Structure 1
Amino acid sequence: MIPDPTLSGELPDGFPTGELELHGRVLPASNATFVGELGGVRVVYKPIAGEKPLWDFPDGTLAAREVSAYAVSQALGWDVVPPTVLGDGPHGPGMVQLWRDEVDDKSPVDIVEEGRVPSGFRHVFDGLDAHDQPVSLVHEDSEPMRRMALFDAVVNNADRKGGHVLPMADGHRHGVDHGLTFNVEHKLRTVLWGFVGEPISEAETEGLRRLSSALAGDLGARLAAALTQEEVEVTVKRLSRLLSRGTFPAPASSRYPVIPWPPF
């Protein structure tokens, strides 16, 4: 497999090359998702041919959006998204992302008994579980989660489920599954609403400004090759709005839900 440099840009440091060998398929995934090995390194592969058609996203673009999300993550300097490239595999061109082993005993997003928010967590909303018992959805109150929430706001992530947040052993959190991003319509659907209205910190503002500079240069041109020109322009506007307001966004009043379903 030779990654396509047109969208991916410079190959991430240490990213493997060679023949992509598939080990299995992730069956619960909405789109064709495979786990495999590339140059002795475990990876996730999502071929464009296996993308499920969506009424609000052009056919064959989800893989490009995943790679674009990684490019934005890198420009921010926050390492939200694991290294991701567009390359050719056994089922044709698609997204290839380095696998990240999560810590099983740590859950950055969780369901708890209603009103019993653990120390170090933020409350998101209340509801009923499968047994009609009152519960609360909560997420960590941490720097990695704040950065992920801001990242999602910039890329307009329509599918930030709890299972798309991977806890790392060192305390870092990675976000995965970014095919539903960069739409021109407001579609932010996330479980990370615990920071609504809070000031964006100076360090977070610096990251957003780094991204703004990158979008005015090479990154903007790279995204334009993967997305529509309008999608790139609206991304710049979302970022500018975040910087001017200086606070974490609140759910917008619209006909779209603001929590993905299911949330996990």
Structure 2
Amino acid sequence: MRFTVLGASGLIGSRTAERLAAAGHDVVPATRSTGVDVVSGEGLREAFSGSDVVVDVTNSPTSDASSVDFFESSANAVGAAAREAGVRHLVILSVVGVDRVPQLDYYRAKTAQEAIVASGRTPYSIVRATQFFEFVEAIMSWTTDGGVVRLPRTPLQPIAASDVAAAVAGTAAGAPLQGIRDIGGPEVFPLDELGRIALAARPDGRSVVTDDRAGPFALVAGDVLVAPEGSDLGPTYYGDWLERR
């Protein structure tokens, strides 16, 4: 099979492309450096030519309100090009609980992308993942003030990027779901505890203070960001991943 991977140079895209190629598939990496712009649609027709499946793991350069325009424009452009090229399966990566946190701009943006893909003519699959292990440091940086990191007790179920890529590649190689596949890591942590575990493994002089008003995840109620019952769970544990790092 022939796959076009949009965002093939990114954290998930590069790993997804590698997995598909290792499985013997023909993979076309599509990025801005190869002349593809998912917002304007430039290069999409050429990138999709002859492909059976398109995997879209591109990401907005911002997480603010402008991300809505990015994902709406890219979803429409990708959908139109996929339909024109006769693509048989369109796969996108989204976020667990994305449609339950309208107060966050980025989540509203991803919800809009999902809706456009689901209403299009190309058979589709949506893979919703929990937060990546690789983003924990970035999450802590948002609320770091000197030597203190303020984090809420919001429950998260983080997953390794490699496990996300495996799920995206596996979904892409299968029949279209015409729906959503939820994936997460094998453990649930309060975010403040997750921060303490990360700093214990790699001390840098900071300490975590629990603050249920700190950062964007303070706006998330309950276990919205935890993988729902029946989700597929990745095999990688956060502690093991930290050790390997």
The bucket for the TM-score relative to the shorter chain is under 0.3
TM-score, normalised via structure 2 length: 0.27
Higher fraction of helix: 2
TM-score, normalised via structure 1 length: 0.25
